[in-house]
């Protein structure tokens, strides 16, 4: 009954207005500030996300708590006093719906890690605007496996589950924005970056983005948005050339130019990893030696890929269908991409177990495009449900699987696991077909 009165009061106060995009952004900002405050250990700032009133309600694990003061005391006891630890909080799959001009419902997933109280689950929050300020008045959380908010952070979506059994480093290529044939408008490019950065911040995950610095020249503000997003940056060459098309000398110059331009952007302290365009490492020995030598000179480590989703192919089709106004085709590309993301992940898991009898950390390849901007939160949620924790690229590369030599030779770009499987076969003298006589002759 109290909640109904609150909403009626809020919605009737200014009935001539409607809930719009700016209001949704303001509500989302409340959650962002809560997450950031929690992660820096500032409980007082976290509690500013709630209206400081006795009628606010917290429900969780079959318990109901009322009042700002009681909630503050409960958080203090559980996460601050004595040897308690607040940990790291993140949100994913956040949906915001207007309930009136001055009221909103926010729903999503939360995760809390790096604390004995780690857990994850779903939340729903009712927020109202009072005196121009949005604040939470009703907080419901359903946690698993731990009891959460109202005794853990309320508006809390997702880091890795405490029981995560797999690890993955997320990488995004072709920053600031990938273009497929035709360049999207400046506004569309900004929306791609905004959507991806929002998903990354809400998920609370580490990401490394690989930059084509020639794309940076078109709109420098886009790269600044990526820097503000807090991701690590790597070199993807200046212009994303293909070695076989431009030749070795031009390729080396393009690689160096991209590295030096990125160094000016990020400063001298940050390491700059390298990702081969098209994942093509060079087909002949001379090219490989020359590229490796330059990377050693630049102190730039190669970042391979184990989960190659081919999202660029689906994104190009989606962009083309959208431009042509074919909504049905655009949706087919999108849904097919989501299936392929999952299939590529399952394939990488299988190859890893085949090679090592275990699953080293995976390295996921995505691209900075509109598909990812829209659907990255859903894919990250699927990875979490599959037991993945999100790690940095450096943490993934620290596994010994990434120190093994790649002795395979291929004119195409392939995943690291495929390269290692070929290398192992070559080292043992095992041909691709174990019984060549069993292969039927061509008709």
pLDDT band of residue 435 (cuts 50, 70, 90) is: very low
Within the chain, all domains assigned CATH 3.10.450.50 are found at 17-144
Rounded CA separation 324/194 (Å): 24
Determine the pLDDT at residue 150: 34
Determine the pLDDT at residue 153: 41
Gap between the terminal Cα atoms of the chain: 80
Identity of the highest mean pLDDT range in 6-15, 119-128, 153-162, 369-378:
369-378
| Cross-strand bridge partners of residue 134 | 129
pLDDT at 56 over 80: yes
Q: What tokens were used for 180?
A: 């497929």
Average pLDDT, the chain: 83
Average pLDDT over residues 242-269: 94
pLDDT at 126 over 60: yes
The label of the residue with tokens 């990401």 reads 207
Whole-number Cα distances in Å, 10 to 30, 98, 102: 18, 12, 5
Average pLDDT over residues 31-35: 94
Q: Class of the 166-422 domain?
A: alpha beta
Within the chain, all domains assigned CATH 3.20.20.370 are found at 166-422
Question: What CATH fold (topology level) applies to the domain 17-144?
Answer: Nuclear Transport Factor 2; Chain: A, (3.10.450)
Tens-digit pLDDT profile for residues 179-230? 765 667 888 889 999 999 999 998 999 999 999 998 877 778 899 999 999 9
pLDDT at 284 over 80: yes
pLDDT at 415 over 80: yes
pLDDT at 133 over 70: yes
pLDDT at 2 over 70: no
Q: How large is the greatest C-alpha to C-alpha distance in the chain, in angstroms?
A: 83
For helices 21-39 and 186-203, what crossing angle results, to 10°? 40
Rounded CA separation 94/425 (Å): 46
Q: What is the pTM (predicted TM-score) of this model?
A: 0.63
């Amino acid at each position: 009954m109290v909640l109904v009165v609150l909403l009626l009061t809020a919605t009737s106060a200014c009935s001539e207005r409607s809930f719009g995009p700016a209001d949704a952004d303001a509500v989302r900002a409340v959650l962002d500030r809560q997450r950031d405050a929690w992660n820096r250990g500032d409980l007082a700032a976290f509690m500013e996300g709630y209206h400081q009133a006795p009628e606010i309600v917290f429900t969780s694990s079959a318990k109901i708590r009322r009042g700002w003061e009681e909630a503050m005391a409960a958080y203090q006891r559980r996460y601050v006093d004595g040897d308690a630890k607040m940990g790291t909080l993140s949100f994913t799959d956040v949906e915001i719906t207007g309930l009136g001009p001055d009221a909103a419902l926010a729903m999503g997933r939360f995760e809390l890690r790096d604390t004995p109280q780690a857990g994850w689950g779903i939340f729903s929050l009712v927020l109202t605007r009072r005196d121009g300020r949005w604040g939470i008045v009703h907080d419901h959380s359903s946690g698993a496996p731990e009891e959460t908010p109202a005794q853990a952070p309320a508006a809390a979506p997702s880091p890795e589950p405490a029981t995560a059994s797999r690890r993955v480093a997320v990488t995004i290529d072709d920053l600031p924005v990938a273009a497929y044939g035709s360049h999207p408008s400046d506004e569309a490019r900004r929306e791609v970056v905004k959507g991806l950065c929002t998903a990354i911040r809400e998920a609370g995950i580490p990401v490394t983005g690989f930059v084509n610095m020639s794309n940076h020249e078109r709109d420098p503000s886009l790269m600044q948005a990526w820097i503000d997003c807090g991701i690590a940056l790597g070199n993807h060459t200046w212009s994303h050339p293909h070695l076989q098309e431009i030749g070795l000398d031009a390729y080396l110059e393009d690689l160096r130019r991209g590295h030096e331009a990125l160094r000016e952007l990020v400063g001298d302290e940050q390491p700059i990893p390298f990702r081969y365009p098209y994942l093509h490492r060079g087909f002949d020995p001379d090219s490989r030696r020359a590229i490796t030598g330059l990377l050693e000179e630049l102190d730039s480590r190669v970042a391979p890929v184990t989960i190659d989703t081919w999202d660029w192919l689906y994104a190009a089709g989606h962009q083309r269908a959208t431009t042509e106004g074919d909504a049905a085709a655009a949706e087919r590309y999108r849904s097919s991409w989501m299936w392929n993301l999952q299939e590529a992940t399952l394939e990488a898991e299988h190859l890893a177990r085949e090679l090592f009898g275990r699953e080293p950390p995976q390295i996921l390849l995505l691209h900075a495009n509109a598909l990812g901007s829209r659907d990255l939160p859903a894919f990250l949620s699927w990875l979490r449900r599959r037991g993945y924790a999100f790690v940095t690229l450096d943490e993934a590369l620290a596994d010994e699987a990434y120190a093994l030599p790649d002795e395979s030779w291929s004119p195409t770009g392939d995943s690291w696991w495929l390269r290692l499987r070929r290398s192992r076969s070559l080292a043992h003298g095992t041909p691709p077909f174990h019984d060549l006589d069993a292969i039927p002759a061509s008709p």
